[in-house]
């Protein structure tokens, strides 16, 4: 068990990552509270702890991902559990209101926050709840959080995994793996948009490129094309659809494989290419459209990631971000794309806590900020 030893900051311990679509929150629940501490603990601190740990849902949109909880961590000399909570960024003001209602500012704690929303909502935190945010760089937090969670593991299991036999849909299986020596790695962070980083050490990295076509694009287009309202609903539709009814394949153009360049007939030649046909438009389902949207966005990300890996001469490609949550279609597509186009030279790696690393990095900064000078 990795031990972080610093001067203890005041409870409660939080880290926040306020993204364009989702807010990710990590909360450390101490499990070693003594009877004396319990007696001295102020009521609103107890209230916050009870509220966060006794619920798995908060209002209509807040969710605690119980299956991701990290148990029995020893941090700053305290033992406890790390909880992972998410809610839509559009509900941010309700969260700030809750902080005011629970008199959070009286606890004199620092709220460490990263992501664009740390800047966007800074004034709202100050005026609505009398709370100051310590704003942190989101890419620093992402890398530090990822390396920390990987180092402590997932309750005795590896945090990292890959897919064995990604080109064989019948025998493609999830396998745990180790990130003991992670550098250099290409880190592909898929949130509302996509950032691609070349990471050489914990504090030495560069942003290689990115694309605006990310998880926000998938959900936005699905809402337009199918009338769905949520990411979960969009993925459910996509899981039942057939993208080949929407996309034009190589075999639709060549009548089979394009053998000279090794392009299989089943490869997508033109995303949404069938939609120029009135007959095709009238025969497809909303599920087909959702699946084609997912495949289009995922293939684009995979293509850019592979080109970056080749250009940077990096063979380890790690995909993270909330776009991958409950999204086995995309993880398997990315695994297949990396393997196929690199002729087995590149393996796509994934992490169990996909979209929470920025929040974990902000949480670690809270502990760091309490160190003695």
CA separation for the pair 357, 362 (Å, rounded)? 9
Q: Which two tokens stand for residue 138?
A: 């989101």
* R_g (Cα) of the chain, nearest Å: 22
> In angstroms, rounded to a whole number, what is the distance separating the alpha carbons of residues 286 and 4?
50
Question: In this structure, how many other beta carbons lie within 10 angstroms of the beta carbon of residue 121?
Answer: 22
Inter-residue contact 140 to 81 (CB < 8 Å): no
Known catalytic residue: 138?
Answer: yes
- Residue in this structure with the two tokens 């993270």, named with its chain if needed: 320
DSSP result, 95-155: HHHHHHHTTGGGG---EEEESTHHHHTHHHHHHHH---EEEE-HHHHHHHHHHHHHHH-BT
- Active-site pick, 41, 138, 236, 372: 138
Q: Is 220 exposed, middle or buried (0-12, 13-18, 19+ CB in 10 A)?
A: middle
Listed residue (1, 93, 106) closest to 43, CA to CA:
106
The residues carrying an active-site annotation are 138
């Amino acid at each position: 068990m990795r031990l972080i030893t610093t001067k203890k900051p005041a409870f409660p311990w939080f880290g926040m990552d306020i993204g364009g679509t989702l807010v990710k929150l990590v909360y450390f629940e101490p499990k070693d509270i003594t009877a004396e501490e319990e007696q001295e603990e102020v009521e609103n601190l107890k209230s916050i702890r009870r509220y966060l740990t006794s619920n798995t849902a908060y209002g209509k949109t807040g969710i605690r991902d119980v299956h991701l909880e990290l148990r029995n961590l020893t941090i700053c000399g305290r033992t406890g559990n790390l909880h992972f909570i998410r809610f839509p960024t559009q509900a941010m003001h309700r969260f700030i209101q809750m902080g005011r209602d629970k008199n959070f500012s009286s606890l004199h704690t620092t709220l460490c926050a990263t992501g664009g929303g740390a800047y966007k909502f800074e004034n709202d935190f100050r005026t609505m709840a009398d709370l100051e945010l310590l704003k942190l760089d989101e890419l620093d937090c992402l890398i530090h959080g990822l390396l920390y969670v990987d180092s402590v593991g997932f309750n005795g299991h590896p945090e990292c995994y890959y897919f064995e036999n990604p080109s064989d849909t019948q025998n493609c299986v999830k396998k745990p793996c180790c990130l003991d020596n992670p550098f250099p790695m290409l880190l592909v962070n898929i949130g509302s948009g996509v950032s691609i980083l070349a990471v050489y050490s914990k504090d030495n990295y560069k942003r290689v490129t990115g694309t605006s076509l990310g998880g926000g694009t998938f959900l936005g287009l699905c809402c337009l094309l199918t009338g769905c309202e949520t990411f979960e609903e969009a993925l459910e539709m996509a899981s039942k659809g057939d993208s080949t009814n929407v996309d034009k394949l190589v075999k639709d153009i060549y009548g089979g494989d394009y053998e000279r360049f090794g392009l299989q007939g089943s490869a997508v030649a033109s995303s949404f290419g069938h939609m120029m046909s009135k007959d095709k438009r009238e025969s497809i389902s909303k599920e087909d459209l959702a699946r084609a949207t997912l495949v289009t966005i995922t293939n684009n990300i995979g293509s850019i990631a592979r080109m970056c890996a080749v250009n940077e001469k990096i063979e380890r490609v790690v995909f993270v971000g909330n776009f991958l949550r409950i999204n086995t279609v995309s993880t398997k597509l990315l695994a297949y794309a990396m393997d196929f186009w690199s002729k087995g030279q590149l393996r796509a790696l994934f992490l169990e806590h996909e979209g929470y690393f920025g929040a974990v990095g902000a949480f670690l900064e809270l502990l760091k900020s309490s160190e003695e000078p």
